[in-house]
A and B are shown apart, each in its own frame.
Chain A
Amino acid sequence: MATREVSAMLYSLIKLIRRKPINRKCWCKEQSASDCQTNAVRCTDRPTLHEHMQDLTLEELTRYSRHLILPEVGLEGQRRLKNGRVLVVGTGGLGSPVALYLAAAGVGTLGIVDFDIVDETNLQRQIIHGTNDLLRPKIASARDRISDINPHIKIVSFETKIDSGNAIKIIKDFDVVVDGTDNFATRYLLNDACVLLDKPNVYGSVFRFEGQASVFHSNGGPCLRCLYPSPPPAGLVPTCSEGGVLGVLPGIIGCIQANEAIKLLLNDGETLSGRFLVFDAWKMKFRELKLFKDPQCPICGEHPTITELIDYEEFCGLKRHDNDIPVESITATDLKAIIDNEPETVQIIDIREPHEIAMGMLPRSRAIPFGQVVRRKEEFDPKLLNVFICKLGVRSELAIRALKQAGFEGRIANLKDGTNAWAADVDHSVVTY
């Protein structure tokens, strides 16, 4: 009852304030918002947010009061948020805070895309999911949490992997896209789809202690391809599951993304468009770098050569090519047999980092970290079978390729699926992490 009275008072107060002339710029930035509402010639930029805008209910006025008393947001801004549609791709480390804050802020239509299941290793940073959600689809768990935070908003869920075939259809009805994905192929896909559909794309990415954020293709600003024309070749860079990530880091970068998405909906403030923000969580340093639009950009430049979505797995080199350096692979049980029967023929090289090795080593193995393999190539005996091992067998394969490229001609094999496979198939006392 009391809350309703407060809401009613607030509503009357806001109506009073609204009678005063507000010197607010319209979307088009050419004329004030009030002119735009009354002029015979209306700006055509984003007309949907001018007309047919839904009003806020009394309950919503109370809920968003801290926004309403900010002159930069106010009633008009909150209505824009309510009528705004944001697509959050991925409900992981980045997508969690993005979805939570956008929901709380009152973004009226929130699209979420994910195809994954909640597992225990997610909970260190993916704060939209909880322990009770283990093994549930992330989309279901995210949906429950979002509607608990804000039952007034509409959630559109896409339980699918976004790809070249469905991206346009998924994105086209949203005003802003937030990239919370975890791989280069999807990031370039989202970039290209947003340029083709003329939508702003709020970018964020993390690795270990480092975060990056920007706003791409906002009002014709630079895009991901202007920043990085192409991704690293497949297999050159370890992923988060191998390289690790500080749990709070995607929280910080995701909050920055949510902040940018809100300003894009409000069409006010200064976004990261044309700026590239780099964050080092370990040193607590933010750096801002200028980002220029590349006139030669193949998708947003003066003469675009990409006019429709392409095959992004191919573009990122994820489809194996014949000219790849072949790498011999050995299973944990086969390696165990060699160690037991002919130990003098094999040299086991553990390329994991010292803190990983501290969790336990395989018998007869020797530690040479990933980052020193090429420099120390003289230490590998070309007459023996050199078996490279790591946690999952991915980094060790990269190390083998680097060593072969550096001219090592002895026999090298990769322990398939790494120490985790050894733990599963040979020795259960070895730690899986």
Chain B
Amino acid sequence: MAITIQLPTALRTFTDGLSEVSVEAATIDEALRQLTKNYADLKRHLFDDSDKLRSFVNVYLNDEDIRSQNGVGTALKQGDTVMLIPAIAGGR
């Protein structure tokens, strides 16, 4: 099913500047795999060397943290919005 992934400014560099990307996926994991397949430069920013989702990137499904749901296994339905929010540190 088609879902929308929203990207913050920090990650748009890797998606040709797009702030939203549509993918076909049934779970969060599938959605992120599809996204990083389409935009290979994004992969190492989302997944670590052992292919696990990085702990400085939070994933929200319709504004709910996937950690309070079924993690990357959380199921998706048509029209869902997945938002990626990485930690940022700027302040000066």
Give chain A's interface residues, CB within 8 Å of chain B: 90, 92-95, 116, 122, 126, 179-184, 187, 204-210, 212, 227-232, 236-237, 239-240, 243, 245, 250, 276, 278, 280, 282-283, 287, 289-292, 353, 369-375, 402, 405-406
Cβ distance B88 to chain A, nearest Cβ, rounded Å: 4
Mark out the residues of chain B between 38 and 53 whose CB falls within 8 Å of any chain A CB in the assembled complex: 39-41, 43-45
Q: Does B9 belong to the interface (CB within 8 Å)?
A: yes
In the complex, what residues of B have CB within 8 A of residue A236's CB? 44-45
> Contact mask B76-92 → A, CB, 8 Å, 1/0?
00000001011111111
A369 to B14 Cα, complex, angstroms: 9
Mark out the residues of chain B between 1 and 54 whose CB falls within 8 Å of any chain A CB in the assembled complex: 8-10, 13-16, 19, 39-41, 43-45, 54
A283 to B83 Cα, complex, angstroms: 15
User: Which residue of B is nearest A207, CB measured?
Assistant: B88
> When the two chains form their complex, are residues A250 and B91 in contact, meaning their CB atoms are under 8 A apart?
yes
Cβ distance B42 to chain A, nearest Cβ, rounded Å: 8
Tally of contact residues, B, Cβ under 8 A = 33
**Complex partner residue of A228 from B9, B13, B56, B90, CB under 8 angstroms:** B56
> When the two chains form their complex, are residues B91 and A179 in contact, meaning their CB atoms are under 8 A apart?
yes
> When the two chains form their complex, are residues A375 and B92 in contact, meaning their CB atoms are under 8 A apart?
no
A180 to B90 Cα, complex, angstroms: 9
> When the two chains form their complex, are residues B90 and A375 in contact, meaning their CB atoms are under 8 A apart?
no
> When the two chains form their complex, are residues A126 and B41 in contact, meaning their CB atoms are under 8 A apart?
no
> When the two chains form their complex, are residues B92 and A205 in contact, meaning their CB atoms are under 8 A apart?
no
The answer to whether A290 and B64 touch (CB under 8 A), given A209-B9, A373-B41, is: yes
User: Which residue of B is nearest A292, CB measured?
Assistant: B68
**Complex partner residue of A231 from B9, B45, B87, CB under 8 angstroms:** B87
A258 to B14 Cα, complex, angstroms: 34
In the complex, what residues of B have CB within 8 A of residue A250's CB? 90-91
A353 to B83 Cα, complex, angstroms: 24
10 extra A-B contacts, CB within 8 A, seeds A210-B88, A240-B92? A182-B89, A206-B88, A206-B91, A207-B9, A207-B10, A208-B10, A210-B8, A231-B87, A232-B86, A245-B90
The 22 sampled A-B contact pairs (Cβ below 8 Å) are: A116-B92, A182-B89, A183-B89, A184-B87, A205-B88, A205-B90, A206-B88, A206-B90, A207-B88, A210-B9, A212-B88, A237-B10, A243-B10, A245-B90, A250-B90, A250-B91, A353-B13, A371-B14, A371-B15, A372-B41, A374-B43, A405-B44
> Contact mask B48-72 → A, CB, 8 Å, 1/0?
0000001110101001110110000
In the complex, what residues of A have CB within 8 A of residue B45's CB? 236-237
> When the two chains form their complex, are residues B91 and A228 in contact, meaning their CB atoms are under 8 A apart?
no
**Complex partner residue of B39 from A179, A243, A375, CB under 8 angstroms:** A375
The answer to whether A232 and B87 touch (CB under 8 A), given A372-B41, A375-B39, is: yes
User: Which residue of B is nearest A114, CB measured?
Assistant: B92
The answer to whether A93 and B41 touch (CB under 8 A), given A228-B55, A231-B56, is: no
In the complex, what residues of A have CB within 8 A of residue B68's CB? 290, 292
User: Which residue of A is nearest B10, CB measured?
Assistant: A207
A291 to B43 Cα, complex, angstroms: 26
A177 to B18 Cα, complex, angstroms: 36
A278 to B14 Cα, complex, angstroms: 21
> When the two chains form their complex, are residues B13 and A369 in contact, meaning their CB atoms are under 8 A apart?
yes
User: Which residue of A is nearest B9, CB measured?
Assistant: A208
**Complex partner residue of B92 from A90, A209, A289, CB under 8 angstroms:** A90
In the complex, what residues of B have CB within 8 A of residue A289's CB? 60, 63, 65, 85
In the complex, what residues of A have CB within 8 A of residue B43's CB? 374
Cβ distance B81 to chain A, nearest Cβ, rounded Å: 11
